[in-house]
Structure formats: structure tokens, C-alpha cells
A and B are shown apart, each in its own frame.
Chain A
Amino acid sequence: MSPAWETIIGLETHVQLRTRSKMFCGCSTAFGAPPNTQVCPVCLGLPGALPAANGAAIGLAVRGALALGCTVHPKSVFARKNYFYPDLPKGYQISQFDQPLATNGTLSFLSSERGVVNAGVVRLHLEEDAGKSIHDRFPKATAVDLNRAGVPLIEIVGGPDLRSPAEARAYLQTLKQLLEYIGISDCDMEKGSLRVDANVSVRRTGETALNTRTEVKNINSFAFVEKALTVERDRQIALIESRARHGRHGYAGGGGLFRDRRQDERRAPGGRQLGDDRGARRRERPQR
């Protein structure tokens, strides 16, 4: 990689918490069950169903936040992220927006290029997972399995503090080690209990402004993290060099690198949240 260019990478990690039951209902979170057998009115989004929050999930999330040196907020609010997608049963995801569980932490890892890097953790919040959409099982159709819908997740948003695809991999490996060690998740990328979206942009060395970034989604192995980000970085450099504007795009199938359509809806205006389940919900600091 030419010293003339600087790569800026920030990672958003979704981590499934090791609870027995889902975030808002008593369905099992066990992996590998036959499709749509770990479902109930709540996680199916049936008319009239209501969420009931899992206390253990809060505890695990707080543990993760503390391990990352975050400030844990005694009051945080569940809010709805409204968008339409077949594996999102309610047409909204219960997440946290304005008042997340935790902010301002650090993940220190060893970069082969720079030594110890203290990457910033902007925020850590709780949310529920969506179900699974399988696009290649039936012709011209998508198969939807809602076993995963409602599994508790924490979303860990890292700052734009990583400077190479190798650093991204190192960051993730350290994060996995940490969260596994403290027992809040098994962080298995293959099983999907650790998922990564990467924000990548490049700029000429010496520039201070950040260029448009691209989001690379659904990376499902550590090796692929490095590979995908390398490809993306090179693509952006080539684009800038050819003086083209760039924005979002996706990679075709294979290797698990394809853009998730729902990302568009999530960022679209009109996806404004309402508190769940009334207007705002608050969580008191858990008793030790």
C-alpha cells in the first residue's frame, strides 16, 4: 500500500449475548434449530404482542461496556428503528438511539504497523436481532426463518481509528478475545454471533478531511475482513485516481460479501424512532 494514501476504517460490530432466551420474549436462543421452531407471538410480530425485556441481557451488556472502559449510563432508552424487510417481523427493530447504554470506551490492541493502538469505542447499545433471509433456497423467492429474530445483541460502534485492513482484523480478534473471556458471547463469526460492518474511506496522506466512506457489510470470517477491506481500499484509491465520485455499492455473492438491502431503509429519512413501547422507556441501573 502506497505511503501516499491513508486508509481510515471504523468497525461496527454486532455481538449476540449469551442468554438462554431472547431479548424480548422467552423463546430459546439456541443455534441450529429447525426453522421457525423457536418463535412466539412476540418475536413473530403477531398482532397484539408486546415485548418483555430480558434482565440478563442488560447485565451482560453492562459487563461488556465496563470491559471496554465505557461510561455506563444509569438511564438509557429503547427506541424503534422503523424499516421494512421480511426478516424484521414488527417492521421496526427495538434498539437504542438517543440514549444508549454506554458511550466512550477504548479497545486497545496491538497493530503490527503502529504498536499499541487505543481504538475508540464511540458507543455500545442493546438491540434485538432480525431473523434470517435465505435467498437461494427457493427460485425467485426468499425464505425467512425467524428463530434468530429477537436474539439480544450489543452493537459496538468504533471510531474511525483503524489505519489498515490488518488493524481491523487485529481489533476484531482482540474484541472477540475480550468478550469471550468475560463470558458475554461466544463471538463465533461462522455462527453469526459476531458480525462486522466496516466503514472504509481513503485520503491522500497529509489531508485532514474525510472522504465519502463505503460500508462493507456481512463479513463472516476474520480472514475475509482483511481481504474485503483490502479490496475496498484499493477500489477507492483507483476511483479517486480516476476522478470519479463514489458512493455505496455492493459486491456480488460468493464469500459472503454482499450488501444488505435493509441498510438503505435504515438510513432513509422517515426511519425516526419512537420509544418502545409507549414513547420512551427507561432502564434503571441494575442492582449489584
Chain B
Amino acid sequence: MSVSREDVLRIAQLAELDVEEEALPTLAEQMSRILDYAAQLSAVPANGTVKIFVPGPDAIRFRFDEVTPSRLAFGPEEFAPDFKEGFFVVPKLGQFE
């Protein structure tokens, strides 16, 4: 299973993270190795007979519908990188649609 340079770029876009040009070949190679290694999993029969297992409680425990205090020791103005007039501020998306 070969992961190409283009694959890495496409996935990086989906994951919203920059990958430098120089890093692409190594990443492609490493990802290929990892995915080849993971391909051993094809030992499992492809049909749906094996039920999925997830640890922990089977069903969600529900919370009572009441307003509870926020448990924030301090507000967003203390930790937000850009906060004005009560809003988180981010640069606009590229150009409009």
C-alpha cells in the first residue's frame, strides 16, 4: 500500500495541517510503512460477523436537565489568543465563497 506525495498533501488538507515540501517524501514513506504494517489486519474476515468491542458502559448515562455553574476558574478573556468585546476573534476565511 503506497502512500504518495499527493496522498499526504490531500490528507494534510483534510486535517488542516501544513506539511513542508521537504518533509513530504519521508512522511509518505513512513505512512506507507505504517499502513503496510496495519494491513496485517486483513486476517480478520471481511464480513460483519465480528461484533465491535468498546470498553466501558454499554449505554449512556443521562444527566438531569438543569443549569449548573460553569466550573471555569476564569473566563475566555484569560486564555483566548484574541478576544474582543466578549467574542473570540479569528481572521476571515480566504475570500468570500
Contacts and interface: CB of A to CB of B under 8 A. Distances in A.
Does chain A bind chain B?
yes
Tell me the dominant secondary structure on chain A's binding face: loop
B9 to A, nearest CB: 13
A282 interface: yes
A84 interface: yes
A37 B75 CA distance: 8
Interface string B11-23: 1001110000000
A143 B68 contact: no
A283 interface: yes
B97 A278 contact: no
Contacts of A20: 65-67
A84 B17 CA distance: 11
B35 interface: no
A117 interface: no
A269 B65 CA distance: 35
Classify chain A: how many residues form its interface, as a range.
Answer: 35 or more
Contacts of B59: 281-284
Given A56-B65, A138-B84, A282-B60, A270 B14 contact: yes
B91 interface: yes
Given A35-B86, A36-B76, A261-B93, A54 B52 contact: no
Interface stretch (A39-47, A65-73, A195-203): A39-47
Contacts of A27: 67, 70
A132 to B, nearest CB: 9
A244 interface: no
